Amino acid sequence: MNAPKLLLLPLSITLVLAACQKPGEPAKPAASAAPAATAALPPLAAFKTSDLDPGKNACSDFAGYVNGKWLAANPVPADKTSWGSFEMLDERSVAASRAIAEAAAADAKATGVAKLVGDLYATGMDTAKIEAAGAAPIQPMLARIDALKTPADIAAYLRDEFAAGRGEVFAFGAEADFKDSSRKIGYAFQSGLSLPERAYYLEDGPDGKYKAIREAFVKHVSRQLQNVGIAPAEADKQAADVLAFETRLARASLSPVELRDPNNQYHYVTMAEADKLTPHFPWSAFFQANGVQADGFSLSQPKFFAEFDKMLAEVPAAQWQAYLRLHLIDGMAPYLADKFNDERFDFYARTLRGQQEQKPRWKRVLDTVENTAGEALGQLYVKQYFPPQSKAQMQVLVDNLRQALKARLEALDWMSPETKAKAMEKWAGFTPKIGYPDKWRSWEGLTTGRESYVQNVLAAAKFNHAYDMAKIGKPVDRSEWGMSPQTVNAYYNPLMNEIVFPAAILQPPFFDPKADPALNYGGIGAVIGHEMLHGYDDQGSQFDARGNFNNWWTKADREGFQQRTARLVQQFNDYVAIDGLHVNGELTLGENIADLGGLNVAWDAYQKALKDAGKSGQDKVDGHPEDQRFFFNWATVWRRNFTPDELKVRLRTDPHAPANFRAIGAPSNMPAFAQAFGCKPGDAMVRPADKRVVIW
């Protein structure tokens, strides 16, 4: 949980309960995969004409027309907090992963990545051994916390925790230097809160919700501390200390909206400057403990770190100990006996997000495999589940989308030729990645076995952290991936100016080699457009063709951009998601710019494909003109139910607007939509000309 992956801009986020380790990172083959039979997978999420609700009107309620019936018939399952097209495909990835992991676990002679996956899975499923161990695996760590007395002790403990791959209070990881994207530096980043964001500590929230969550949190902390043998009265006292500690940290933390500003993500300091800011936490010792040599790094939120330093000096050791204990136990809970994991589930999933039941054990163990060795699993996954011809077809689509974007950039009427030339330079610099890495990362040096789940997880966390740290000061490896191939998602990385599409998203409703072009352009076409447009959203547009944080805009053009984006902010601010709570147009601006531009680019590319085929878009497939099917599939991608609690957390933290507003937001700004459905001025899906937003 400690690598700041802030700059990846994924299409949609999946909020997994914070796990103790970092996601796997990318390089090279190993392993004889056990020859497993391809698993029978759960159903696809493809659009079907029978999903349409003839009782609804596309021009007034497009989301209801396409998704209403499906949403009513597909409530969130008890062991989930959301359910839609992404989750349905994710179930397929998970089923495939299970077959791979079970085969690897059953193969005593497995080597390389198959052994790694098999060891993690087999020990994770050995519940008898895990239950018998109780709290024993974390006792030595708890004993070390008990012995902390001085600020210097605490600083030393934190250094060692980071070196072991378990950071506390803040996050630290390697990422490309904003100002010189060809090399990696260290980034220290605000973190350390148990609740979703600062407001949960500092405000009462709608209907007193945050206050109630804080009260439930204190009870959770007390119970979790009692699970390691602390007496109830003492546990209650420590729980109150934990809340006080985190509240102070929250006060010094930036909000999710503030964190969107790249200026709030990057603050380069020399070692001497850093030490001056945090005199009780010498950074040179921290770097040394982590095996890194550097002249400087990004101390990304100076105010947060100044407060952290004051807390080292001022907060009594007992309060630090309570905080560190809780984070150790909650962080390790998924790998310990049920009482730890159940307690963690009860607060973070049930109370906070409305998840009624735990996922089955095997899915939770697969989450661990994904989080610790996702790319190792992916190496086995693509062999069996990714048809190579999909990659070739995707390349053609990506190319068509790129050409359509080029034409739109050239035709922009609000931008000076000067800025436009830079936008074109950026366009020429896009790197697409499709399916899986050309080069697999190496796991050489990581030793796992069949003895202990906790030992395997700790070994992997330490190994992954060292792998990350080794990149600091080195040139960026442009072949690296930030997501595993079995992830149903896609991303743009502004520091590499790259768009990335893992294998698992290349399925219906996104992509189907057998579907009509309208569906593919309205699905994966719009996703490709979306990812490219992140290069020109409120954040991405501050990075240049080489991925450097560098202003390439004239002042007047930037103002023109901001006038347009302000109107998009207003459009989304006006949407009411639940119980009178509005979407946050500022928090979701980047995604909404990407959706709007992406869908327009996809539409242009689709029109060109029709023209090349000598077609009009009026030919009917399954009873509907192809032009309508383009928008049907866009909405199908964005069908998703949430538990009310999950939706409320996301309104505060997720930079993506709730799915039903993504289904209608971009189309409501497109004359092409009105034309495809014969909508009239005044219809809800037709914004008046002076309210319509076109940015790219």
Q: For Zn ion, give the closer residue by CB, 76 or 527.
A: 527
Dihedral sign for Cα 612, 613, 614, 619, please: negative
- Report the DSSP beta bridge partners of residue 371: none
State how far the Cα of 112 lies from the Cα of 448, in Å rounded to an integer: 11
Q: For Zn ion, give the closer residue by CB, 269 or 527.
A: 527
Residues in contact with 117: Cβ distance below 8 Å, sequence separation at least 6, in sequence order: 100, 101, 104, 105, 369, 373, 376, 377, 380
Q: For Zn ion, give the closer residue by CB, 9 or 113.
A: 9
> Interaction with Zn ion in 582-641: which residues (CB under 5 A)?
591, 594
Dihedral sign for Cα 76, 82, 85, 88, please: negative
Find out whether 394 and 366 touch, Cβ atoms under 8 Å: no
Q: For Zn ion, give the closer residue by CB, 456 or 493.
A: 493
State how far the Cα of 454 lies from the Cα of 123, in Å rounded to an integer: 9
Q: For Zn ion, give the closer residue by CB, 8 or 18.
A: 8
> Interaction with Zn ion in 5-24: which residues (CB under 5 A)?
9, 11
Residue 165: left (phi > 0), alpha (psi -120 to 50), or beta? left
State how far the Cα of 527 lies from the Cα of 540, in Å rounded to an integer: 16
3-state secondary structure of 182: strand
The site for Zn ion, by CB under 5 A, has a size of 4
Which helix (H) or strand (E) segment is 513 a member of?
A: none
Measured in degrees and rounded to the nearest 5, phi and psi for residue 56 equal -110, 160
Q: For Zn ion, give the closer residue by CB, 11 or 524.
A: 11
Minimum distance from CB of 637 to Zn ion (Å)? 12
Minimum distance from CB of 527 to Zn ion (Å)? 9
Minimum distance from CB of 652 to Zn ion (Å)? 18
Minimum distance from CB of 498 to Zn ion (Å)? 14
Minimum distance from CB of 489 to Zn ion (Å)? 9
State how far the Cα of 174 lies from the Cα of 329, in Å rounded to an integer: 26
Which helix (H) or strand (E) segment is 434 a member of?
A: strand 431-435
Minimum distance from CB of 517 to Zn ion (Å)? 23
State how far the Cα of 238 lies from the Cα of 322, in Å rounded to an integer: 5
Find out whether 171 and 3 touch, Cβ atoms under 8 Å: yes
Q: For Zn ion, give the closer residue by CB, 390 or 539.
A: 539
Strands 576-578 and 581-582, bridge-based pairing: antiparallel
Return the closest-CA partner of residue 148 out of 319, 275, 14, 288.
Answer: 319
Minimum distance from CB of 285 to Zn ion (Å)? 39
Minimum distance from CB of 541 to Zn ion (Å)? 14
Q: For Zn ion, give the closer residue by CB, 489 or 633.
A: 489
> Interaction with Zn ion in 94-133: which residues (CB under 5 A)?
none
> Interaction with Zn ion in 469-498: which residues (CB under 5 A)?
none
Minimum distance from CB of 316 to Zn ion (Å)? 44
- Vertex 333 angle, CA 330 and 335, to 5°: 150
Minimum distance from CB of 37 to Zn ion (Å)? 36
State how far the Cα of 374 lies from the Cα of 385, in Å rounded to an integer: 15
Q: For Zn ion, give the closer residue by CB, 141 or 401.
A: 401
Question: 3-state DSSP: the chain helix, strand, coil percent, rounded to 5?
Answer: 55, 10, 35
Measured in degrees and rounded to the nearest 5, phi and psi for residue 247 equal -65, -40
Q: For Zn ion, give the closer residue by CB, 9 or 89.
A: 9
Say how far residue 445 (Cα) sits from the centre of its chain. Answer: 28
Q: For Zn ion, give the closer residue by CB, 59 or 593.
A: 593
Minimum distance from CB of 530 to Zn ion (Å)? 6
Residues found near Zn ion in the complex (CB under 5 A): 9, 11, 591, 594
